Copies of this chain bind each other. A is one copy, B any other.
Amino acid sequence: MVKRTSFENDDCPIARSLDAIGDWWSLLIIREALFGSRRFGEFQKSLGLAKNILTVRLRALVDQGILKLAPASDGSAYQEYLLTPKGRGVFPILVALRQWSEEFDDRPEEIATILVDKEKGRPVRKLELYSQDGRLLSAADTALKPRADVKSSRKLRSISA
């Protein structure tokens, strides 16, 4: 790629998400953060990625307001990476990815963990999408509507999400 096409200015919210967290490592870093990792070294060890890449990814996540830097909670002079609300908001995306694997992976027996609810310890249900009046929706029950007040300078693409 002469320049890895950026979707930052695309009018599709999916493309925008991908621009922010659509690379190989960002989602996994957020996953680790959701499960307690805070320090550079923790991310590096648990994910096994190169340190220079981790540096770049962490900085990008901080820039985007997904992580924030804070003084270390253990009294040392170092810093910690903490999730912001925007970062915690990624949780449903991770659940959706997890459930897709669980349902469609060719070798589901290799999946090591199950997402359970803390109180009862039982597997969670599938993510559900409802209409405002409470009907359960599938993809076929939905459509895309252009926003009434689009300010985008780019022409609307027919119906592409």
The quantity of this chain's copies bound in the complex is 2
A33-51 to B contact mask, C-beta < 8 Å, 1/0: 0111100000000101100
- Pairwise interchain contact B157-A46, C-beta atoms closer than 8 A: yes
- Report the minimum CB–CB distance from A161 to chain B (whole Å): 5
Cβ of A5 within 8 Å of any chain B Cβ, yes or no, is: yes
Alpha-carbon gap, A141 to B27, bound state (A): 20
5 A-B contacts, Cβ less than 8 Å apart? A11-B111, A17-B97, A35-B159, A46-B157, A93-B97
A-to-B contact residues, CB < 8 Å: 4-5, 9, 11-18, 22-24, 27-28, 31-32, 34-37, 46, 48-49, 65, 85-86, 88-106, 109-133, 135, 137-147, 149-152, 156-161
